[in-house]
Amino acid sequence: MTQNVKGFSKLSKEEKINWITNNYFINPLEAKESLTKYWNSDENLQKLHDEFIENTLTNFYLPYGVAPNFIINGKSYTIPMAIEESSVVAAASKAAKFWGERGGFKTTIINTEKIGQVHFLFNGTAEKLTAFFNHIKEKFFSDTAEITKNMQKRGGGILDIELRDKTHEIANYFQLHATFNTKDSMGANFINTCLEQFAKTLESQANDFDGFSSEEKNVQIIMSILSNYVPNCVVRAEVSCPVDRLSESASIDSVEFAQKFATAVKIAEIEPYRAVTHNKGIMNGIDAVVLATGNDFRAVEAGIHAYASKSGQYASLSHVKIENGIFTFWMDVPLALGTVGGLTSLHPLVKFSMELLQKPSAEELMQIVAAAGLAQNFAALRSLTTTGIQQGHMKMHLMNILNQHQATKEEKQKVLDYFKDTTVSHSLVIDYLEKLRS
Ligand code: MEV
């Protein structure tokens, strides 16, 4: 039976690997080989990756691809995407080309405000706390002046601090609810540092406040942390064209396609089971670019799904209208992204992505990411409402099946030729491969 381990993080990488492979694997040598073959031969590069996290054993690869031909606000982009799902980059590229020929994506920044909160308990009335808060409010700004100095030089900083009474939900529970502009950085460290200072200021000022009883002086800080829910850090992406330009194929009628497409979106607006999958398709595009640009995809995911539920029911992020013969498809998404700080100047491939995107500001990156998400959603809905998703999906998945069965280069070519005009299924590919081999 596997033993627990003490001081694991202090072991060397080799010692960690030995402990893991000897304890958990039937064939430790083979397991070790699985890890070491992903080590980078450039020692400095490997060290950089080793030091991103604790207990690094190896690197975990994802394919890094690009989707060219994105026209966003008249500017051409080749968008980097890091993702494992076979059909995503192909779908983004196809949608980019389609919309590039119809005026491209139009994107607008709606707002860029970030949020952070100090959660605390106060043993007194809301009226008394409000009077105290108004009295010391300026102190929150002056006590964080050193922290905010550089951000202010860049045009950002703390926008406002509010006191929020939450005692109707939890006894004695109040918040400092602060808003920030963090310019080109995602801002998590900046916000959290400001919040922790707010907490200290609150505690000490309450303690010294003559108007408070000893109970009231004893403010209890529960936690200080940014919120990944950023409903006021939102970008809109939109595409539109005359309905009769929607179909590229003689077998698909443009008007019928527009109506089916619009109904598919309406279904996602009212049916949560569909909305989750619909939005997952959007996230295929968003996450891939967020990851390739070194941003925090968990924060983005959490924030976007909360935003999709803001009406009280989880719903589609994208919407469609057909008016006066014009088809318009759009979505608003909250995106807290950074193009400076974090991994952006550390990870060589993130640096590559930033240069590929012509060193965008955070606002420009928000627009690129939103366009990639909308493109992905359009591509998925177009397939779903016309050919069905499996045709394109399985074509792209074909290579995975072939690799799983160690197909040779010649076998791969023969299978690809055979399935050019035939629907791909796992079993049909295996049958055909077996026939080739017999
Ligand atoms: C698959 O990764 C994404 C889709 O399911 C999205 C959708 O259904 O809209 C195809």
Q: Is the CB of 267 under 6 A from ligand 1?
A: no
Q: What is the phi-psi region of residue 225: left when phi exceeds 0, alpha when psi lies from -120 to 50, beta otherwise?
A: beta
Q: Is the CB of 55 under 6 A from ligand 1?
A: no
> Which residue CA neighbors atom 2 of ligand 1 most closely?
281
Ligand 1 mutation target, pool 269, 280, 317, most atoms within 8 A of CB: 280
Residue 420: its pLDDT value, please?
83
Q: Is the CB of 217 under 6 A from ligand 1?
A: no
> Which residue CA neighbors atom 1 of ligand 1 most closely?
281
Residue 395: its pLDDT value, please?
77
How many CB atoms sit inside 10 A of residue 92's CB? 30
Tens digit of each residue's pLDDT (9 = 90 or more) over 1-57 = 567 899 999 999 999 999 999 999 999 999 999 999 999 999 999 999 999 999 999
431 catalytic? Reply is no
> Which residue CA neighbors atom 3 of ligand 1 most closely?
281
The DSSP annotation for 133-152 comes to: HHHHHHHHHHHTHHHHHHHH
Q: Which of 184, 196, 238, 296 is catalytic?
A: 296
Could you give the CA distance from residue 353 to residue 360 in angstroms, rounded to a whole number? 10
- In whole numbers, what is the pLDDT of the chain averaged over residues? 96
Q: Beta 220-227 vs 318-323: how paired, if at all?
A: unpaired
> Which residue CA neighbors atom 6 of ligand 1 most closely?
281
Positions of the chain with pLDDT lower than 70, given as ranges: 1-2
248 catalytic? Reply is no
Could you give the CA distance from residue 350 to residue 43 in angstroms, rounded to a whole number? 19
Q: Is the CB of 282 under 6 A from ligand 1?
A: no
Residue 1: its pLDDT value, please?
57
Residue 2: its pLDDT value, please?
66
165 catalytic? Reply is no
Q: Is the CB of 389 under 6 A from ligand 1?
A: yes
75 catalytic? Reply is no
Q: Which of 85, 165, 203, 269 is catalytic?
A: 85
Residue 332: its pLDDT value, please?
98
Could you give the CA distance from residue 169 to residue 341 in angstroms, rounded to a whole number? 37
